[in-house]
């Protein structure tokens, strides 16, 4: 059974444009370093940076906590590190989904140790069960449904990233 679309491409485009305006309005003036978490956030980040009307640079962190499974392993591994220093910079961390808080907690600690002026977080999807003890999320695209989601960069076993909308993967 193919994945069932739950958030349309047009709804995503509308919300990403609004997020770009919100980020520009709420963050301090000046340049921004946008750090995307690979691989899931690459499509979201590409659209988001085009919607932020200010000078910015882009960088990426590769992490893995799911591998090819649909349940987190409980361990975050860095697979690719930043290409440039972030000391003194305003940093916007862009993630595909906030679920257990494990990855965001790890990444906030990693980035904070590098001396940025501030680290803000933007996620495409946030689960209602995201722990309050986890790092604060400053910008949320959509509340995530209680389902395993794919599409718009999110995958299951490296498949479905190319779907233009957010879809629920049926068991």
Q: Between β-strands 90-98 and 166-168, what pairing exists: parallel, antiparallel or unpaired?
A: unpaired
CA distance 78 to 67: 12
Segments of the chain assigned E as strands:
4-7, 32-38, 56-64, 77-80, 90-98, 118-127, 139-144, 149-150, 166-168
Q: In whole angstroms, give the CA distance from residue 118 to residue 1.
A: 44
Cα 163–Cα 7–Cα 66 angle in degrees, nearest 5: 60
Start-to-end C-alpha separation, the chain: 9
Specify whether 55 is catalytic.
Answer: no
CA dihedral 141, 112, 61, 135 (to 10 degrees): -30
Q: From the candidates 47, 96, 99, 155, which is the catalytic residue?
A: 99
Active site residues: 99
């Amino acid at each position: 059974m193919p994945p069932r679309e739950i958030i349309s491409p047009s709804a995503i485009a509308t919300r990403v444009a609004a997020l770009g305006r919100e980020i520009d309005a709420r963050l301090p003036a000046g340049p921004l370093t946008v750090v995307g978490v690979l691989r899931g956030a690459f499509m979201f980040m590409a659209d988001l940076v085009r919607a932020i009307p200010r000078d910015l640079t882009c960088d990426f962190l590769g992490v893995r906590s799911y591998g090819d499974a649909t349940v987190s392993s409980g361990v975050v591994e860095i697979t690719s590190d930043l290409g440039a220093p972030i000391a003194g910079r305003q940093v916007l961390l862009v993630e595909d989904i906030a679920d257990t808080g494990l990855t965001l907690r790890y990444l906030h600690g990693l980035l904070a140790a590098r001396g940025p002026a501030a680290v803000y977080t933007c996620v495409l999807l946030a689960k209602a069960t995201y722990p309050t003890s986890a790092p604060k999320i400053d910008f949320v695209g959509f509340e995530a449904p209680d389902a395993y989601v794919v599409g718009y960069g999110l995958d299951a076993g490296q498949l479905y990233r190319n779907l233009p909308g957010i879809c629920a993967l049926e068991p």
